[in-house]
Structure 1
Amino acid sequence: MELINQFVLAGAALLLLAILASALSYRTGMPLLLVFLAVGMLAGEDGPGGIVFNDTGIAYSIGSVALAVILLGGGLNTRAESFRAGLRPAAGLATLGVLITCVITGLFAAWVLDFGLLQGMLVGAVASSTDAAAVFALLHAKGLTLKQRVSATLEIESGSNDPMAVILTIVLLDLITAGQGLPGWDTLSLFALQMGMGLVAGIGGGRLLVWLTHRLRMEPGMYPMLILAGGLTLYGLTTVLGGSGYLAIYLAGVVIGNRAPRESRNILQVHGGLSWLAQIGMFLMLGLLATPSRLLDDAPAALAIALVLMFVARPLAVWLCLLPFRFPPREQIFIAWVGLRGAVPIILALFPLLAGVPEAHTVLDVAFFVVLISLTLQGWSIPYLARRLRLEVPPAPEADERFDLGAGANGHTLFGYRLAPQTPVLDRSAADLALPGTARLITVLRNGAALSPEAAGNLATGDVVYVLARQDDSAALGELLVSATAPAYLEKRQFYGDFTVGSEADMASVAELYGLPLPEGAARMTLADFLADRLHGVPVAGDRFRLGNIEFVVREVEDERITRVGLRIPTHLQ
């Protein structure tokens, strides 16, 4: 009993220390996952904590389950419209991109480590996939609002590229332990089985879980647990049957998050916390598993492999895979740089240890070093690079509170907004407030008193207003009821320009009105068709096209069709 209490004390103290240390991330810009990994390493056998942890079996089991929870949370927060913008490029990166990265990195690793070809390829396979935990954490924790095409591609890729890396690792291990040569056609059938079963199980299981939330009457706190238990059941069952459990649980999360289950807001909030708990726990454990003194022995070779991975293998894989989709160069540069490595390479590096491969400890040390370099060098620079490449877009204003009203509300939600200084509706009459769509002002809270719109008079700073509205009207409500807090360069008038034009305006009229050159063949096009033709692919908010002395900026897109366009004079663009 005393031993159990000591374990609880040590675990809770580490967790608390990691949470408190996360304040460093906000003060210094240090990636959160690097903070958690560093705390684990300091608590380990080479650090002040002196905790000896070297059980690779336990590390693999805990890491796999934690990663599944993280993927479920990431899927719950992935919108369906993201798939329209990023599915095809992400699918290429998650398959062919992983293979290209594996080959280039593996060939270099075989040379620099003086390994055989298969052993070098094993190093490449371990380091070949981007990490969902690292990508989700760094893109969201830094408060970045990226162009949808970029964020969707990165998130879908990181959530779906693990099967390819796992297959490559397993196949190479089988070849090494059996003393065989190159892989055969059975590798392709294994890949098809893993992806196919993961796809079917994820979509089917996600729909079943949504159906259960609507059919079962339970305590509100049980619905997030139903999703968690159901998601982990899908992960385990798919894995046992030979499919990709990681892909299954990620896709299940996507389906659930986009099909409005009962208590959806509660589910998202709880799983947001569970995802952070899983990330903290996983990186603390991996930090404990590391032995920094041993890492130094392989540091020069591991550093060289990490640099080749970041500056050669990943950029080349991104360029080849995105070539058919005509991504702008600045987006390709960013996607190549955000090839973050995190827990997955370390977990995959445990496979050779469990299989008894002689080079296993070197593979694990290289994986740790690659992760440390990636989180430090790439993770620290992501916000700066996103701004320099002009890939950020103004963040969507959100309500301070949101209450889902259930199936009988016909799609309506109660939104709560605390009015801050410089909110557009200040000093306007609450009773006469013009709200978008069918939105209706219900009450105003002022100094603890609930006032009707008629009794509230003019709205003032500090008022909390509650509005009954559909989700479709939430963006327009945010424009009225949320004070702009974005940096100056993301202020909407500066970002989109002072003027907005309808997308159905014909190009001949637009060109005549603003004195622009009219490209050949554009006279009979609408502005939306002209921009779609010039931008290529699926347009997203923030896409730009310069014509003469005017820059057209896509402001809104609905069902892949441009609906509003901003006009700005790009005199101060960097």
Structure 2
Amino acid sequence: MLEAFDLTVLTIASLIIISIVMLRASSRIGVPTLLIFLTLGMIAGSDGLGIPFDDAVLAQKVGVIALAFILFSGGLESDWPTIRPVLLPGALLGTVGIVLTASLLGLFAIFVLNFPPVAGMLLGAVVSSTDAAAVFNVLRTKQIGLKGELKSLLEFESGSNDTMAVILTVGFIGLMQTPDHDIIDLIVTIFKQIILGAVVGLATGKGLQLLINALHLEYEGLYPVLLSSSILLIYAATNMIGGNPFLAVYLAGLVLGNTTFVHKRSQIRFLDGIAWLMQIVMFLTLGLLVYPTRLADYVLPGIAFSLFLMFVARPLAVFLTLPFCRLNIREKLLTSWVGLRGAAPIILATFPFAAGIKESDQIFNIVFFTVLTSLILQGSTLPLAVKLLKLEAPLIRKASYPFEYENKEASNTRLQEFIVPYNSAATGKRIFELKMPEDSLITLIYRGESHLVPTGRTILEPGDVILVLVNNDNAKAVAAALTMPPA
């Protein structure tokens, strides 16, 4: 028995390490990383190397917990000032857009694929949400950025639209299991889950900040443990009271990430690592659940369903949802093409299995085929689409620093990041020539992949990321000195 346990641990560890190593291959060929993870899972499964796994209920549990950590981490790293301008269109895409996409796909499943009415709508709900994380993996590997507010819009949509997809999926499963329920019950459930999930998420996000800052723990390593346990608590508690747990954990992360708390940078790095681990484990598990030999029966319906999603359902949902927003036609077209399917649809496809739905096997295989098709076709052509639509912009990388400075609410001094624009009057000047406030201090310059310790004679270059010790009184003056356009 001990040998069997050791073999299981060896297999899991090996698959995770291979997945990480394969990330380099993903970067070279420009495909989403989750496609690599799914493929490895399929290769290792029953039809490949022979690892037996057919427990859909276990896969569902692994998937929902992993998704909770991924959404919390995504919210934690989201910048509210960049989300605020796209809050309305992002919320509309994540709610109305999901309903329209699910409805159109459901009608296609009913009238073209001959699904029973409620089962067809269930299939549409399962595959209705997007995965922008896969999109930006492709864009980063090809060194392509997006103009305007597109990046913020797509990130916010991807973090919020899983909520509506989960609600619709659970709702239609409930309609199939309890025929006496009607559409009114589903609408009531939707509003209840959104309201409760939002309230719990906003409240717990602020509560977490107060708790972390008030504890003054002796051991720094306990803070990530506290944060990880809190994610599970938020998920479980919200689910138990009838709210949407995915919305709650995302909003909790968003609220917490836009406040100041103890060891913030180290905790964000820890959660980022956990989110990557969760993605790998989740995709490998879902890949193991698939029998590639069975997908052959779903090639034609899968291709038809995928093409309808990519060229009809998603574009219609985007254009009908955002008729009066500030996005132009080219931006709406790219938003339509960016609708890659990823983790959430495959996880939701395990829900019918767990509920014992008759069409569960058919739904899972069509969804899996659709996700693969979307990642291969849309994922590989995204850089080309960005260029053809003339929406590419320089990719802004996050600076990394060789030290950590903890900003505290009680202190008036903080370490703030500034970027020297290409048209700034500061470019080409030495630091001592800048009209910087006397009570400010440039501590580090991040240039390309290098860190520079500045002196008064250091010459600033366009694109330099500068870390400056500032206070509430001089921050605006520092920003003006570094970003002011030439006279």
TM-score of the superposition, structure 1-length normalised? 0.74
Give the aligned partner of residue 13 of structure 2.
12
Deviation at 1:384, TM superposition (A): 2.7
Give the aligned partner of residue 496 of structure 1.
none
Give the aligned partner of residue 410 of structure 1.
412
Whether the aligned pair in 2 keeps the contact of 1:398 and 1:475 (CA below 8 Å) is: no
Whether the aligned pair in 2 keeps the contact of 1:397 and 1:475 (CA below 8 Å) is: no
Give the aligned partner of residue 207 of structure 1.
206
Structure 1: distance between partners of 2:63 and 2:476:
41
- Structure 1 stretch 35-44 or stretch 166-175: which is displaced more? 166-175
Opposite residue 441 of structure 1, the aligned amino acid is I
Which residues of 2 match residues 208-287 of structure 1 at below 5 A? 208-218=207-217, 219-287=219-287
The structure-2 alpha-carbon separation of the partners of 1:3 and 1:469, relative to structure 1 and needing over 3 Å to count, comes to: farther
- Secondary structure of the 1:66 match is helix
Give the aligned partner of residue 93 of structure 2.
93
Structure 1: distance between partners of 2:312 and 2:54:
33
Structure 2: distance between partners of 1:123 and 1:82:
34
Deviation at 1:252, TM superposition (A): 0.6
- Structure 1 stretch 299-308 or stretch 347-356: which is displaced more? 347-356
Deviation at 1:221, TM superposition (A): 2.9
* 2:363 is aligned with 1:394: no
Give the aligned partner of residue 422 of structure 2.
none
Which residues of 2 match residues 241-390 of structure 1 at below 5 A? 241-390=241-390
Whether the aligned pair in 1 keeps the contact of 2:106 and 2:121 (CA below 8 Å) is: yes
Deviation at 1:406, TM superposition (A): 3.3
Whether the aligned pair in 1 keeps the contact of 2:444 and 2:468 (CA below 8 Å) is: yes
What CA deviation, in whole Å up to 9, does each residue of 1:9-32 have, x standing for no partner? 000100011111111111111211
Whether the aligned pair in 1 keeps the contact of 2:260 and 2:407 (CA below 8 Å) is: no
Which residues of 2 match residues 133-148 of structure 1 at below 5 A? 133-134=133-134, 137-138=137-138, 144-148=144-148
Structure 2: distance between partners of 1:444 and 1:113:
59
Opposite residue 8 of structure 2, the aligned amino acid is F
Give the aligned partner of residue 197 of structure 1.
196
Give the aligned partner of residue 59 of structure 2.
59
Give the aligned partner of residue 26 of structure 1.
27
Whether the aligned pair in 2 keeps the contact of 1:135 and 1:155 (CA below 8 Å) is: no
Deviation at 1:389, TM superposition (A): 2.2
Give the aligned partner of residue 42 of structure 2.
41
Opposite residue 182 of structure 2, the aligned amino acid is P
Deviation at 1:444, TM superposition (A): 9.8
Whether the aligned pair in 1 keeps the contact of 2:47 and 2:292 (CA below 8 Å) is: yes
The structure-2 alpha-carbon separation of the partners of 1:397 and 1:356, relative to structure 1 and needing over 3 Å to count, comes to: closer
What CA deviation, in whole Å up to 9, does each residue of 1:457-488 have, x standing for no partner? 66799xx99753469679969979xxxxxxxx
Opposite residue 160 of structure 2, the aligned amino acid is S
- Secondary structure of the 1:115 match is coil
Structure 2: distance between partners of 1:24 and 1:99:
36
Deviation at 1:300, TM superposition (A): 0.6
- Give the superposed CA RMSD: 3.5
Structure 1: distance between partners of 2:182 and 2:413:
53
Structure 2: distance between partners of 1:254 and 1:350:
28
Deviation at 1:361, TM superposition (A): 0.4
Opposite residue 196 of structure 2, the aligned amino acid is M
Structure 1: distance between partners of 2:7 and 2:204:
39
Give the aligned partner of residue 155 of structure 1.
155
- Structure 1 stretch 24-33 or stretch 64-73: which is displaced more? 24-33
Give the aligned partner of residue 539 of structure 1.
none
What CA deviation, in whole Å up to 9, does each residue of 1:510-553 have, x standing for no partner? xxxxxxxxxxxxxxxxxxxxxxxxxxxxxxxxxxxxxxxxxxxx
Structure 1: distance between partners of 2:46 and 2:153:
39
Give the aligned partner of residue 182 of structure 2.
183
The structure-2 alpha-carbon separation of the partners of 1:444 and 1:303, relative to structure 1 and needing over 3 Å to count, comes to: closer
The structure-2 alpha-carbon separation of the partners of 1:474 and 1:334, relative to structure 1 and needing over 3 Å to count, comes to: farther
Give the aligned partner of residue 81 of structure 2.
81
Structure 1: distance between partners of 2:193 and 2:141:
31
- Which of structures 1 and 2 has the larger relative contact order (alpha carbons within 8 angstroms, sep 6+)? 2
Structure 2: distance between partners of 1:36 and 1:178:
37
Larger radius of gyration: 1
Opposite residue 412 of structure 1, the aligned amino acid is R
The structure-2 alpha-carbon separation of the partners of 1:393 and 1:132, relative to structure 1 and needing over 3 Å to count, comes to: closer
Deviation at 1:282, TM superposition (A): 0.9
Structure 2: unaligned runs, 5 residues or longer: 420-424, 447-451
Structure 1: unaligned runs, 5 residues or longer: 418-423, 481-498, 503-574
Structure 2: distance between partners of 1:427 and 1:82:
29
Structure 2: distance between partners of 1:426 and 1:327:
33
